[in-house]
Amino acid sequence: MMNDVTKILIVDDSKDQCRMINDYLTTIADLEVVGIAHSGKEALSFIEATHIDLVLLDIIMPDVDGISVLESIQAIDKKRRPKVIVLSAIADDNIKNKMISLGASLYLIKPVPLNVLVDRIALIAKHVNILPTLTTIDASTIKPSGDLETHVTNVIHEVGIPAHIKGYQYLRDAIMKVIDNTSMIDNVTKQLYPSVARSFGTTPTRVERAIRHAIEVAWDRGDTEILNKFFGYTINHGKGKPTNSEFIAMISDKLRLTLKAQ
């Protein structure tokens, strides 16, 4: 049973997102933000040490992702177990269903109007049954069937990278390597590019340049709407084209979570 004041933990690796939600919620009576976590590990430590009524949970985060956080929350005694609203840029029925099956009360697609978020928090705090559905944003076209290479290939085609350029093969291999070993994205120059280069008998410099060219081709073709369909608000058009590592990280995180939710 929630108290009269609903104590909330915001979990998102975006400091701007956390700040925006926190600033709005602090203006609402009967809602109290008692903590902000920027990683899954930090969130679990906070939940273990502090009484929380409700967690606003992102999915893609460093170290422990949102799926694992929700799994850990379900292991908490029911008397202390907080309710969870998932706030994600991923519009994917497969992942949504996974989160709901793990106990999330609601799955909302970012960006969520803050007044709508407050309404949903109020409903959950009052124990009103609401249907856990996606918003009207289209779900991802990625399907749960098929192997990893097929998933990666489908996404690369979707974003408009032609198969005949070298960067296509390098990018596909890089994404698959990062999905298999997420630490590679933290050391792109010294680890990821050399690994891809060895696979194709070329140099890390050529790999980097070819992937950069592939991303520029996709971006200049006007397929940013497709990218937004996969990744929602996470792409900032004002910043221009994503870096190689940003592009690879976004796609690999999306696919890793999609496959994990199967």
Same CATH topology for 6-125 and 148-260? no
Are 150 and 80 contacting, i.e. CB atoms less than 8 angstroms apart? Answer: no
At the second CATH level, the architecture of 6-125 is: 3-Layer(aba) Sandwich (3.40)
Split at pLDDT 50, 70, 90, the class of 70 is very high
- Which position has the higher pLDDT, 148 or 25? 25
Q: Where are the domains of the chain?
A: 6-125, 148-260
52, pLDDT greater than 70: yes
Q: Where are the alpha helices (DSSP H) in the chain?
A: 15-25, 40-49, 66-73, 93-101, 114-125, 148-158, 166-180, 193-200, 204-220, 224-231, 244-260
Split at pLDDT 50, 70, 90, the class of 132 is very low
For the beta carbon of residue 41, count every other beta carbon within 10 angstroms.
Answer: 15
Burial of 12 (C-beta count, 10 Å sphere; 0-12/13-18/19+): buried
Are 161 and 218 contacting, i.e. CB atoms less than 8 angstroms apart? Answer: yes
Mean pLDDT computed over 118-128: 74
Split at pLDDT 50, 70, 90, the class of 154 is confident
The percent of residues above 90 in pLDDT, for the chain, comes to 29
CATH class of the domain defined by 148-260: mainly alpha
